[in-house]
Amino acid sequence: MESYLHMTKLKTGFIVALVALPLGVFAGGALKGHPHLEKARDLLNSADTQITDAQKANEFDLGGHAAKAKDAISLAKEELRQAAATSNEKK
């Protein structure tokens, strides 16, 4: 059963990555002209990559905390996109 759960988590992570990658690329365009927000997004992308590396090194067994951190990063990137959109509306 443990092996099944591991594979289920792996498949879920893979599907999320396939969906999130194009969204992340699309969201990046909204930050053009906002260098501080772009830098923040770049740092969040780097943090996401580091967490993925940690998950791989630990065979994804991090008690779900790494996945929750990655979810928080996704939320933070969406908030950055919304911040840029709000700023653009005021111009």
pLDDT at 78: 97
> What are 89's two structure tokens?
């509306």
Q: Of 9, 31, 12, 24, nearest to 86 (Cα)? A: 31
- Residue 79, Cβ neighbours under 10 Å: how many? 12
> Residue 76 — very low, low, confident or very high, per pLDDT cuts 50/70/90?
very high
Number of domains in the chain: 1
pLDDT at 25: 46
The string of pLDDT tens digits covering residues 4-55 is 555 566 556 656 565 555 555 444 578 989 999 999 999 999 999 999 999 9
Question: If you average pLDDT over residues 55-80, what whole number do you get?
Answer: 93
Q: Of 41, 15, 32, 24, nearest to 84 (Cα)? A: 32
Q: Which domain holds residue 53?
A: 2-89
* pTM of the predicted structure, to 2 decimals: 0.67
Q: 61 or 69: whose pLDDT is higher?
A: 69
